Amino acid sequence: MYEHNPALTRTPMYSKEKTQLQNEQVALRDEQFWYDDGSVVLHVGTKLFRVHRSILAAHSEIFADMFRMPQPANQPLLEGCPIVTLTDCVTDFEDLLKALYHPFYFDSLPNYSALADTLDFVSGILSLSTKYFILQFRERSISLLKRIIPTTLDAYDSKFESMFFSEDPNVIARAIGLAHKNNLPEFLPSLYYVAACRISPGRMLDRNSINLSWEERTVCLVGREMLRMLEKLISYRFLYDFRPPPSCKSLLCAKSTRPLHQWRVVENRDSPAPLTPFHKWDELDVCLKCILHIREQHTAGREAVWARLPSAFNMSSWDVLAKMQ
């Protein structure tokens, strides 16, 4: 999991600015995370962090087990501290240390941050908290992602046509990759939904246009066709298969062609959008009883589509995804 680097102890005293590594790279002491009373020096990339074994071990089972392992008598030391080399991304590790040493670090992300900014904030911490079993930080990172990536229909409605749905498709693709890498399946149905609705098939098949794997592209393309079917058969069926309720006795409602006309408008949209609420009730040319009836159908249909959203992308139910996560 880690290795010692004897090259860091070639000189008896540690330079205040840098230490020459075996491969002639320069390891710089991190100004923020170099504590005089630190008990271990972590070498990550080209940076050195002098931090506290007790803090690392208290948060992470992996670090606790690491520090319990017997160390050789000739273990290299730097200013009296053992040196541990980690292979993590240095910027990710800096973010992890910020969360470890600053109690309110997670509160520093503004509540209404865009998805791109949220990914920048949590990706490093999420990746390393998953790797090192720091469950509290993983849960906090997930809670920040849930601010903007909906996992319920109510959450989706609160973000509809807001920052979540207006994000750059490449940001959505980045979020999909992050979810796969860190075992976050609960976020994938809504992310795939947005990708399938917003990214055209032509762009999806363009090798260089979007940062998705071919497997992810296939999921989106197949899911796109499933969304078309859900739109027609469930959430918007009240338009193309309009039937007045028994309480309506009006022949004008029974013969109205406006619902079918509105279905043609929906059918001709560039992309499927079975979760998009219908608003043009006053253009259906039917009575209030009919409108109340079909609004209930539409609401129930959107709820049914949301329940089936994971299966549209060949995934388990929402409950199963939450348990897997």
Q: What is the mean pLDDT of residues 294-298?
A: 97
The answer on pLDDT for 307 being more than 90 is yes
pTM of the model: 0.86
The answer on pLDDT for 304 being more than 50 is yes
* Per-residue pLDDT at 34: 96
pLDDT in tens, 18-29: 444 444 356 789
Would you tell me how many other CB atoms lie within 10 Å of the CB of residue 151? Answer: 19
User: Higher model confidence: residue 132 or residue 17?
Assistant: 132
pLDDT in tens, 106-128: 999 998 888 999 999 999 999 99
The answer on pLDDT for 70 being more than 50 is yes
Closest CA to 271 of 198, 195, 162: 198
The answer on pLDDT for 8 being more than 60 is no
Helices (H), the chain: 53-59, 61-68, 90-101, 115-131, 135-146, 153-159, 169-181, 188-198, 201-205, 214-230, 237-240, 251-255, 258-267, 288-312, 318-324
Q: How confident is the model at residue 5 (pLDDT cuts 50, 70, 90)?
A: very low
Would you tell me how many other CB atoms lie within 10 Å of the CB of residue 176? Answer: 23
* Per-residue pLDDT at 16: 39
Q: Average pLDDT, whole number, for the chain?
A: 89
* Per-residue pLDDT at 74: 78
Q: What is the mean pLDDT of residues 100-108?
A: 95
pLDDT in tens, 216-229: 999 999 999 999 99
